[in-house]
Structures are given as C-alpha cells and as structure tokens.
Amino acid sequence: MTTLTEAPVPAAASAPARRTRLRGLNWLVWRQHRAVFWTLIACTVVFAGAMVYERAQTMDYLNAHGWPHLKSGWSERYGAGPITHAASLLGFVPIVAGVFVGAPLLAGDLESGTAKLVASQSVSRVNWIAKKLGITVIVVAVCSAVLSTLFTWWWSPVKSEATVIEWSDGSGFDNSGPMLVALTLLTLVGGVAIGLLLRRTLSAMVVTFAFSAVVQLVWSEVRLSFGSVVTATTHKGVLGDTFPHLPAAADVLDQSYLTGSGKLIGYSTCVHEATEKAQAACLQKADVVGWSVKYLPLSGMSTMQWLGAGTLLVLTAAIAVFVIQRARKRVL
C-alpha cells in the first residue's frame, strides 16, 4: 500500500506577503496630494544636486588658494553669485510651502465637498485632519531639512567672509541650520489653519501669502535679539589705531565713545572739527577716553539659530493644536 505524502507548503506562500506600502487613510492622503508631494521631492532633488555641484566648485577654488589657510585677497576673485542666488531662492521656500501646500490642504476639501465624503466614512474628523497635516508636515520638513543642510555645507567654508554673505543677514542666517525648517513649518501650518477658517482655496492662499510676508518681516526684526551681545571697550583714546580688536565676522550693533565717567556718547561727537588738533581738544573737553563697541560674535550663531527655531516651532505646535481642536467641532 502506497501512502501519498503532501508536499510541504513553503512558509512564504502560507503567510500573506507583507506590504510595505501605505494603507488606509495614509494611502488616501498620499494619493490625494501625490502631485504636490512628488513636485516638492523633485524640486528638492534638483536643487540639492545643484548645491552639491556648486559646493564642489567652491572647494576647488578655495583649495587653489590655500584652503584652509586662505591667501590674502581670495574673496576679491571669488564668484559669490551662485551662493547668493541660491540663498535668495531658498528665502521663498517658506512662502511657497504656506501658499501652495498649506493653504489648499484643508480649504480645497472643504470647498469641493471632499471633506463631507470622507466624514461619511468610518473616519473621524480629527483623524482625517491629523493624517493630512502629519504626512504633509513630514514631507515638507524632510525637503526643507535637506535643502538647509546642503546650503549650510556649501556656505560653511566661506561663512566668515562678509563680502560673500553676512552671517547675521536673513539670506544666510534663515537658510542654514534649523532655521529654514522652522520658518517653513510655521508658514505651512499657518496656511493650513487659515484654509480651515476661510474654507475657500483662493482666499486662503491670498491671506496665507500676507501671513508669510508678516512672519518674514517680524522675524527679521527679532532675529538678532536671540544673540548674547558682547561689549568691547578701550581706554587709549579714539584717535589713530585705537579701535578695539573684534573677532572675525563680528556683527557690530553699536559703537560709541566712552568717557572717563563711564558714560557713552555718540561717535559723531567732534567729527565736524576742522583740524585734528581741534578734534583732539574737543574730545579732551568731552572727557572721551576710548571706545565702547557692542557686537554679536559668529561663534554664537548656532545658539541663536536653535533658540530662534525652538521659538518658531513652539508657535507652529500651538497652531497645529488649534487646528486639531477646531476639528473636534463641526468643520464640514
């Protein structure tokens, strides 16, 4: 009697294959906004490739001039055009993210009725908005982080040279380190909140543009307040080579004459005197004994950026909480 034995079933065939693709609501959000997401990713890849190439060009030039101990006059022949143009383009990233990604994210669904269709399924309003916001934030944060990291890498070898880009200026400070990510997420989530409130895509985009411009303006006014101001003083007079020695790339905020009593007076004092002798007599009469200079050192840039980025991210989180709380109510 012959016994038939079944061939063993392969383990891979007996168990369902694992799926690594997005599923459920995550898949729906990605599919709905895939054109925007892939456009962001493609633009990031192109811009990243350009910065990698330009960084190589920069290092070739610097190596030819003795990097890391650069020869005198190297900056006069350095072509700063590419890096300054790149900084200008990166400055538009927060605005683009807020206007073209954030504002239509919820406003488009509310205006077209897609939100009602989603709500009629077994999906809560909070879960729907949280998924849309979360996935979009991740995509935008990764793209802006890649751009910021590469720009920082490109700019670092020439960061101390003010003729290229002043480190305290927005074109350098706001596009490097964590700042580009923080500014971009703030305008993005702000745009989402505006779209949720206005419920009309075009109106939300217009208002978000104004919001982004206000954010940039206010930030430009408070940016330097996150730094620790250093004061340098001298007591050897103010005529001749008596100005205090400052570290390389220091950003001078204010300079004044220092009197014997410790009082500060404007450095334009006695500037209108006709002769050097008359100016010296005027300064002596004013009891001027030296300089007092307030400045921000380049070494404090990183701390300033992380403090500033942390503040902006707290504001972003507060707006995100408002959006989620708003979703608990009837938004359709």
Q: Write the pLDDT tens digit of every residue in 213-238.
A: 999 999 999 999 999 999 999 999 89
Distance CA 157, CA 70 (A): 10
Q: Within the chain, how many helices (H) and strands (E) appear? A: 13, 4
Q: What is the pLDDT of residue 272?
A: 87
Tokens 């383009």 -> residue: 89
Q: pTM (2 decimals)?
A: 0.88
Q: The tokens of 281 are what?
A: 């007599």
Phi, psi of 277 (to 5 degrees): -65, -45
- Please name which of 153, 148, 141, 211 lies closest in space to residue 174, comparing C-alpha atoms: 148
Measured over all CA atoms, what is the biggest interatomic distance in the chain, rounded to whole angstroms?
Answer: 129
DSSP lists the bridge partners of residue 259 as 288
Q: What is the pLDDT of residue 332?
A: 57
Calculate the CA 204 to chain-centre distance: 23
CA torsion 111→101→131→107, rounded to 10°? -10
**How many other C-beta atoms can be found within 10 angstroms of the C-beta atom of residue 146?**
18
Q: What is the pLDDT of residue 194?
A: 97
Residues of the chain with pLDDT under 50: 1-7, 9, 11-17, 20
CA distances from 231 to 242, 246, 251, 255, 294 (A): 15, 10, 12, 9, 4
Single-letter code of the amino acid located at 330: R
- Please name which of 127, 184, 100, 318 lies closest in space to residue 108, comparing C-alpha atoms: 100
Q: What is the pLDDT of residue 112?
A: 81
**CB-CB contact of 309 with 182 (8 Å):** yes
Q: What is the pLDDT of residue 56?
A: 96
Q: The tokens of 215 are what?
A: 């954010």
- Distance from first CA to last CA of the chain, Å, rounded? 73
Q: The tokens of 83 are what?
A: 């890096």
**CB-CB contact of 195 with 103 (8 Å):** yes
Single-letter code of the amino acid located at 108: G
Q: The tokens of 265 are what?
A: 């007076």
Q: What is the pLDDT of residue 6?
A: 46
Could you give the 3-state DSSP secondary structure of residue 204? helix
- Please name which of 42, 70, 244, 262 lies closest in space to residue 143, comparing C-alpha atoms: 42
Residue 298, classified by CB atoms within 10 Å of its CB into exposed (0-12), middle (13-18) or buried (19+), is: middle
109-129 burial, b for 16+ CB within 10 Å, e for fewer?
bbbeeebeebeeeeeebeebb
Distance CA 83, CA 297 (A): 22
- Please name which of 98, 143, 118 lies closest in space to residue 28, comparing C-alpha atoms: 118
